[in-house]
Amino acid sequence: MPTLAPDPDPKQPTAPVRPTEPLQPLDPKQPADPLQTADPLRPTDADPHRHREMAESFGADAALYDRARPSYPTALIDALVAAALGRDFLDVGCGTGILSRQLQAAGCRVLGVDVDERMAAYARSTGVDAEVAPFETWDAAGRTFDALVAGMTWHWIDPAVGAAKAADVLRPGGTFAVFWYVLQPPSDLGAAFAAVQRDVLPKNPAAARAAASPLGAYEHFLDRTADNLTDAFTDISRATFPWSRTYTRDEWLDQLRTSGIAKPLADAGKLDAVLEGTGAAIDAAGGTFTLDSIAVTLTATRT
């Protein structure tokens, strides 16, 4: 079973590219997740799945979510399709169907599962077959798949329970693939975004670090996922795929409104201040900017 090959695009993204590397255990004395903090606006541990109410807030404006969230690199979609034994895909945490529609366009048959009926309903309105349940307790009704994918969602899944469930629904030789795109701003804007976070959340230095350079959070998610895969999986590997997008001020603020932290910020009365400061930073940079970054992936093969 082939592993995902990294995109051969010679362009160099802002963040470091590491196509395939051995998995290293987390140092328990040094939390790798920049979201870890004592601030009440952030989870107090490195396990977002324990705070799923943040994920379940996305459906408050599913149309905004679908409009604001970026699609996945074409090279990543092509690699997923090429690696799979067949065309039956399960999209875990399908949301509004952004990833599902890309896979459909590539010739795949996709079933989505999402915890939020509002998100699943939007996905269905775009032609995606979507069922509603937490993945950990979803009833597959005996169905199995050639590939299980999760884009920007596996951190909301209990890593141990999710890995066992993935093994149950994948056919022998099936592909397990989880991935995240890294919203890595240019260094000057990253510094400006960090300054906004420090001003608005002075007791949360981790928020400023994450605003400037979010890659560490996703590396932690990859580590945690790999650590919880059982011997039902083999060929565990990582790859990175460059991606680029030009954002206007309003487009960037819209994606901030769809982030997991938006609801806690709003509940604390701090979201408007973050949006105002971030918007001012983009205005000062000319009103638009190009984000050159990467999508990070972890794949494995069902034995």
Query: What domains can you pick out in the chain, each with its CATH number?
Result: 48-185+213-245+293-302 (3.40.50.150)
Quick one: pLDDT at residue 264?
82
Strand 109-114 with 145-151, pairing: unpaired
Cα distance from N-terminal residue to C-terminal residue, the chain: 10
pTM of the model: 0.84
- Residue 93 identity: G
Rg over CA atoms, the chain: 18
- Model confidence at 94: pLDDT above 70: yes
Non-local CB neighbours of 146 within 8 Å, separated by 6+ positions: 84, 85, 86, 87, 88, 89, 170, 171, 174, 175
Quick one: pLDDT at residue 15?
35
Helix (H, G, I), strand (E, B) or coil at 239: strand
Residue 17: pLDDT band with limits 50, 70, 90:
very low
Quick one: average pLDDT of 11-34?
Answer: 34
Strand 129-132 with 145-151, pairing: unpaired
- Model confidence at 188: pLDDT above 90: yes
- Model confidence at 215: pLDDT above 90: no
